[in-house]
Amino acid sequence: MSKVTKQPISLPTLATIKQVAEHTGFCNRQIRRWIASGELQAIRFGRSLRVAENDLALFIATQKRS
């Protein structure tokens, strides 16, 4: 019988709307607007919204203008 080794999975860090607002310097309302428009991806847990660190980084990277 072979042993199955379980690899630890890497979970993304999830930030609250408030944490995203503090990080970006925008207000909570603007963060919610970006989520509602689909520009910023979010995960819903019941009534709470969380933004994955990777999704926030991608959103910021796509907002840069030359």
pLDDT digits (tens, 9 = 90+) for 16-65: 999 999 999 999 999 999 999 999 999 998 999 999 999 999 999 998 77
Give, in degrees to the nearest 5, the angle at Cα 57 between 37 and 17. Answer: 55
Q: Tell me what pLDDT residue 6 has.
A: 77
- Does this model's pTM top 0.85? My answer is no
Confidence at 66, pLDDT banded by 50, 70, 90: low
Whole-Å CA distances, 56 to 1, 8, 11, 36: 44, 24, 15, 15
